[in-house]
Amino acid sequence: MAELTTVADAPPQCDADGCTKPAVYAYAWEWGEKGVCCEQHRFTLNQTSEHLKRAVHFAPLQQTKAPITRDERTQLIAAKLSTEAELEDVKTRGLDLYRENTNLTSQLQSLTIRHRETGAQLKDAQTTIAKLEADALRRDAELGELSDEVSRLRTLAKFVDPQPQQQGKSSKTQTTPPAPKG
């Protein structure tokens, strides 16, 4: 149901002769005369007070809200409903984004832990590789020394006289040179 308005509810008009603009200020002269005026006539009253060398005091009027029409009310209700629907959509989207952010944070934490574990495993593997490479170099050096020793022994074996074989025995015996000391 639309509210009824009366002339008393309408904003006051300016007191100046012939002015139909709505009043914005209330004024009072020092001798007690009071009234209301628009923005333009406020300046006129101010100039008059300066010429008369008398004070005039201005106060802004309380703006009363004009009643809204049925069409305006319908538009406002429609805008309110539309805004509420948009608000719900925004809340839903915000909640979805929050959940997605939480999920991504969880994934990031698990990937960070996995990265740390992989880094530790890599460090352990590099340490093991370094130890194995050092061991391989040591064994290569040892192999080289042993190869040299075998070559030296073969050379010595060529210069050593083979022992005569015994004739009564059916098996052949070989003599091996003694292993070097050291």
pTM of structure = 0.38
Are residues 79 and 37 both part of a single domain? no
Q: Tell me, what's the pLDDT at 3?
A: 52
For residue 162, being part of any structural domain is answered with no
Are residues 115 and 56 both part of a single domain? no
As for how many domains the chain has, the answer is: 2
Q: Tell me, what's the pLDDT at 17?
A: 85
Q: Tell me, what's the pLDDT at 22?
A: 85
Q: Tell me, what's the pLDDT at 75?
A: 92
Are residues 99 and 148 both part of a single domain? yes
Instruction: State how beta strands 25-29 and 34-37 pair.
Output: antiparallel
**Cα separation, 80 vs 63, whole angstroms:** 24
Taking the chain (182 residues) in runs of 10, the rounded mean pLDDT of each run is: 52 83 88 89 90 89 76 92 95 96 96 96 96 95 94 87 56 58 57
For residue 166, being part of any structural domain is answered with no
Are residues 89 and 127 both part of a single domain? yes
Containing 60, the helix (H) or strand (E) segment is: strand 56-60
Q: Tell me, what's the pLDDT at 67?
A: 77
Are residues 85 and 52 both part of a single domain? no
For residue 92, being part of any structural domain is answered with yes
**Residue numbers of the domain that contains 38:** 11-60
Q: Tell me, what's the pLDDT at 2?
A: 46
Smallest CA-to-CA distance from 174 within 159, 163, 161 is with 163
What is the token pair recorded at 27? 């004024």
Are residues 73 and 21 both part of a single domain? no
What is the token pair recorded at 134? 């050092």
Are residues 56 and 71 both part of a single domain? no
